[in-house]
Structure 1
Amino acid sequence: MPRPDKTRFASHDQYIAAQTPTVQAILTEIQRRVETQVPEAVRCIGYNMPAFRRGKIFFYFAAFKKHIGIYPPVTADQALIASLAPFRGPKGNLSFRLDQPMPYELIAHVAEALAAQYCSDGSPPPRST
Structure 2
Amino acid sequence: MAKAVRTRKAANAKAADCARASQTATVIDEYLAQLPEPTRAALEKLRETIRAAAPTATETISYQLAAFRHEGMPVAFGAAANHCGFYVMSGTVLQGFRDELALYKTSKGTIRFTPDRPLPSALVKRIVKTRIAENHARLVQRAKRAAARKQPPSE
TM over 0.5: yes
Q: TM-score, normalised by structure 1?
A: 0.76
RMSD value, Cα: 2.3
Name the SS for the 2:103 alignment partner: helix
User: Percent identity between the aligned chains?
Assistant: 25
The answer to which structure has the higher strand fraction is: 1
When Rg is computed on C-alpha atoms for both structures, the one with the higher figure is 2
Alpha-carbon distance, 1:21 to partner = 2.8
Q: Deviations over 1:9-51 (max 9, x none)?
A: 2000010001013222111111111111111111111101100
1:66–1:99 CA distance, 2 compared to 1 (3 A): farther
1:63 aligned partner: 79
1:120 aligned partner: 136
Segments of structure 2 that go 5 or more residues without pairing to the other structure are 1-18, 140-155
Q: TM-score, normalised by structure 2?
A: 0.65
Matched, 1:44 2:60: yes
Alpha-carbon distance, 1:76 to partner = 3.9
Give the distance between the partners of 1:83 and 1:102, measured in 2 at CA.
Answer: 10
Paired residues in the alignment total 118
Matched, 1:25 2:19: no
1:78–1:48 CA distance, 2 compared to 1 (3 A): closer
Matched, 1:13 2:29: yes
Give the distance between the partners of 2:26 and 2:107, measured in 1 at CA.
Answer: 30
The answer to which structure has the higher helix fraction is: 2
Q: Deviations over 1:39-68 (max 9, x none)?
A: 111111110110001131110100112221
Structure number with higher relative contact order (C-alpha < 8 Å, ≥ 6 residues apart): 1
1:70–1:101 CA distance, 2 compared to 1 (3 A): closer
Alpha-carbon distance, 1:113 to partner = 1.6
1:105–1:44 CA distance, 2 compared to 1 (3 A): same
- Superposed, 1:76-115 pairs within 5 Å as 76=93, 78-115=95-132
Instruction: Say whether the 8 Å CA contact 1:62–1:70 is kept in structure 2.
Output: yes
